[in-house]
Structure 1
């Protein structure tokens, strides 16, 4: 695969100064850093590509060889003198080699401390936008199938005129003279125990390492503006009330080219008119009259998607539970589906006619409707009669 021109990668001219090359690399590193582009292989490759370009162009000897011989002059395989390939290096290699770009203290190992609100080593500060929280109410059908929701959010976005830098035209800034671009200052204090060295954020540039000459008129130098954005999110099947989904990078934009915060989506459930959720199972309360219990019947049972007919056998007893397997909700982790439990209850009219009362009294005398009460039990028909009365 043919390598791209290093100057093209960093978007600088061959006559660019070391400071311009450094600024260009820093811009690319922030743009394509894995923390800002999670699970994005293309961004990771561009991040490594920019690191390789800077490693050569920031070194006067390597730059001279590159200008004269191209990639062959700096490639490790051609004996060009210590170049490296983006395909052979790891993220930790880049973090350790280019810590000077972000404050002289590296990235804190495999992490991203150099870009955080404040790094452990006191490196240059790059701001992170705050997280956004939003509640999304889902129907039982949404939960059963999964759904894609479009949310209209009011949030801070990167300012377009200055490309989120806060500087007029996107590049009207200079290196801080106090910290010389490192974003931190080191102080040595004499104590009874000897000299003590402390490192803190630079008070002149607030740890950013740069000073804006002319602030962007659109954002006032903040690099972010209040705006609206429509965000599309995919919610998996099986989520439940109170669950929280994290959508990386869809929160508020960070000041002056910083990292975006996350969007935290909190799930709430809409009550179903007939079905009750119990974990991954669903419960339906079916009420039958005395003739239905005695003679049997066919009942129409609602499910999430439609209705199904269920045969109720003659002689079915109250409080029996019928199980419709696989008619519940899917497990959010993919471990199958729950069931629909049909709980059968006795129903009786509040008022009956004289003719109906005579029929019931006649049935009460029938041997088939006689039930010997057990311990703690009562005659079912007597219960029904009491309800009628």
Structure 2
């Protein structure tokens, strides 16, 4: 947060609360506004997103007693950020403090008025910002049953975390890092570009805000080290092969109180010898005999995790007919289940003799006048 922001932005007005509002009142108002303007509730609305950022920025300052006190003192000292009319003869003039506050830290002789009031504005009006942890990628292989019903699996991950030897300071035991004189601990410097001041990471401290003179031998001054850990992760039911799952906040730890990164899990699902899958539905192919297909009947069908179900096979069922067993498929996100799609496959015996052969010959003779290919030849002749 820059000194210019402290002076020019009215955070009380942004939240719509009086200057003497209590912390509880500020928190209650913030929650109401945050729900109203949250990006998830206003898809594609740039104005709502900007309003949400302003609300969050105001709450970050006013909800912290120390920062709120500094903000109130800054507003009291400099007013709205522009000097009042005055001067000899009452000639009015205005002066924007932004030029003084932006300064030329690291790029010139003067650090601006922010250097004078360094104690009031957290070392020159800026402080090193929290840094979000890195995202972590990993993979997991599930069985077909685990993917359908969900499973809790152990995942071993290696990510960057604070070095245990120096507790993340980057300095050798017994020593401490010093504040970077170039950025005054902010981690960024402002460089003038005409009427604008552009902020960029400080080159001397590489954006950390601190300089380590005697680095830690384990992390070589970075303050970060590889850390291996095993955690139990719940894979939701209904996950599919090659799906990528995001687990928020399960990645690498942040720096200076920053939020942890996210964990991305790439899922691989092994095939099943009997069942297949189409979206939320499971599939299975069930063989039936010729008499069952011709005469109809009730057939038993296996399910993935449970007893077999009985399905009614209509008389005259053709090869490839699909039946449906409702609620016997994969688990959906809402807890309901898809269906089991049963494909009928008419089997033909490899060898026929005895009574079976005699019966088939009689059936053949009885149906000799019926040619199932007659319509095919007729259609070909008419083409």
TM category (shorter chain) comes to: 0.5 to 0.7
Match of 1:173 among 143, 153, 177: 177
Aligned residue in 2 for 1:85:
23
Aligned residue in 2 for 1:267:
267
CA contact (8 A) 1:164 1:223 kept: yes
Aligned residue in 2 for 1:331:
332
- Distance in 2 between the 1:250 and 1:283 partners? 35
Identify if the C-alpha distance between structure 1 residues 169 and 302 changes in structure 2 by more than 3 Å, giving closer, same or farther: farther
- TM-score, structure 2 normalization: 0.60
- Distance in 2 between the 1:137 and 1:182 partners? 44
- Distance in 1 between the 2:223 and 2:24 partners? 31
Shift in Å at residue 254 of structure 1? 4.8
Listed as ranges, the matches of 1:36-115 within 5 Å are 85=23, 88-89=26-27, 90=30, 91-96=56-61, 98=67
Identify if the C-alpha distance between structure 1 residues 196 and 148 changes in structure 2 by more than 3 Å, giving closer, same or farther: closer
CA contact (8 A) 2:330 2:338 kept: yes
Identify if the C-alpha distance between structure 1 residues 231 and 375 changes in structure 2 by more than 3 Å, giving closer, same or farther: farther
Shift in Å at residue 271 of structure 1? 1.4
Aligned residue in 2 for 1:387:
none
Aligned residue in 2 for 1:373:
372
Identify if the C-alpha distance between structure 1 residues 370 and 342 changes in structure 2 by more than 3 Å, giving closer, same or farther: farther
Identify if the C-alpha distance between structure 1 residues 346 and 377 changes in structure 2 by more than 3 Å, giving closer, same or farther: farther
Aligned-pair RMSD on alpha carbons?
Answer: 3.8
The secondary structure found in structure 1 opposite 2:26 is coil
Aligned residue in 1 for 2:34:
none
Shift in Å at residue 347 of structure 1? 0.9
Aligned residue in 2 for 1:308:
308
Shift in Å at residue 161 of structure 1? 2.9
- Distance in 1 between the 2:144 and 2:352 partners? 38
Does 2:253 align with 1:287? no
CA contact (8 A) 2:296 2:317 kept: no
- Distance in 1 between the 2:293 and 2:24 partners? 76
Identify if the C-alpha distance between structure 1 residues 188 and 156 changes in structure 2 by more than 3 Å, giving closer, same or farther: closer
Aligned residues: 276
- Distance in 2 between the 1:170 and 1:93 partners? 39
Shift in Å at residue 151 of structure 1? 0.7
Shift in Å at residue 287 of structure 1? 1.4
Aligned residue in 1 for 2:167:
163
Unaligned segments of structure 1, at least 5 residues: 1-80, 106-120, 379-389
Aligned residue in 2 for 1:154:
158
CA contact (8 A) 1:165 1:171 kept: no
Aligned residue in 1 for 2:237:
237
Shift in Å at residue 144 of structure 1? 3.0
Deviations 1:331-379 (A, max 9, x none): 22x1732111212121112344476544322221235x8756387569x
Shift in Å at residue 308 of structure 1? 0.9
Deviations 1:89-131 (A, max 9, x none): 4553353464999xx99xxxxxxxxxxxxxxx99746544432
The secondary structure found in structure 1 opposite 2:189 is strand
CA contact (8 A) 2:136 2:263 kept: yes
Identify if the C-alpha distance between structure 1 residues 199 and 372 changes in structure 2 by more than 3 Å, giving closer, same or farther: same
Identify if the C-alpha distance between structure 1 residues 204 and 316 changes in structure 2 by more than 3 Å, giving closer, same or farther: same
Deviations 1:129-154 (A, max 9, x none): 43222222333322332211111123
